[in-house]
Amino acid sequence: MSDITTNGQAGEPQLMLQKIYVKDVSFEVPNAPHIFQEVGESEQQPQVQLNLAQRAAGLGNDNYEVVLSLTLTCTIGERTAYLAEVQQAGIFGIAGFSETDQAGILGSYCPNLLFPYARQVISSLVQEGGFPPFLLQPINFDSLYAEQQRRLADGGNAPIVLNS
């Protein structure tokens, strides 16, 4: 990558979004068709659990692939209503930042940018799967990144699980 940024200033930090794409997607309704009857008849509220993960990999030439993985599991009682998984990815050009700033960009800014795309895919999968619409609430990736850094400093590396 050149030392010239998009505005022509040499040596300044630059961040460029090059591509956003769905890397992997899956939707399962393991208890169909009986679960559709239970959805309408059950007095139990559906329980939704969101597992969230992300990873970044260098591609060379100051390019990085960031993958945001979301797994949404909806259960009614002990039975799984549906399982929706998406890996939303992007390729980012990042140059001229300090190591700390670059880590923050990859760990917070990039997932924040990818999340609306992943949320749309999840929403479409759930609705097209025959279930009532489901919209994931916004996620504070700055806070999650800070928590992840604290866990790493303490020697842990467990995935983040959010419950709705």
pLDDT digit string, tens, across residues 116-126: 999 999 999 99
Residue-wise DSSP of 43-99: SSPPEEEEEEEEEEEEEETTEEEEEEEEEEEEEETTEEEEEEEEEEEEEEEEES--H
Q: What is the mean pLDDT of residues 128-138?
A: 91
Q: What is the structure's pLDDT at 8?
A: 45
pLDDT digit string, tens, across residues 10-32: 578 999 999 999 999 999 999 98
| pTM across the whole model | 0.83
Classify residue 127 as left (phi > 0), alpha (psi -120 to 50) or beta. Answer: alpha
| H-helix or E-strand spanning residue 16 | strand 14-28
The pLDDT-based confidence of 162 (bands split at 50, 70, 90) is low
Q: What is the structure's pLDDT at 161?
A: 53
Owner of token pair 């960009």: 105
pLDDT digit string, tens, across residues 45-95: 889 999 999 999 999 999 999 999 999 999 998 899 999 999 999 999 999
Q: Are strands 63-76 and 47-60 parallel, antiparallel or unpaired?
A: antiparallel
Burial class (CB in 10 A: 0-12, 13-18, 19+), 89: buried
- 103 or 1, greater pLDDT: 103
Q: What is the structure's pLDDT at 43?
A: 74
Q: Are strands 160-163 and 47-60 parallel, antiparallel or unpaired?
A: antiparallel
Q: What is the structure's pLDDT at 51?
A: 95
Is a pLDDT exceeding 60 seen at residue 127? yes
Domains and CATH numbers, the chain: 16-131 (3.10.420.10)
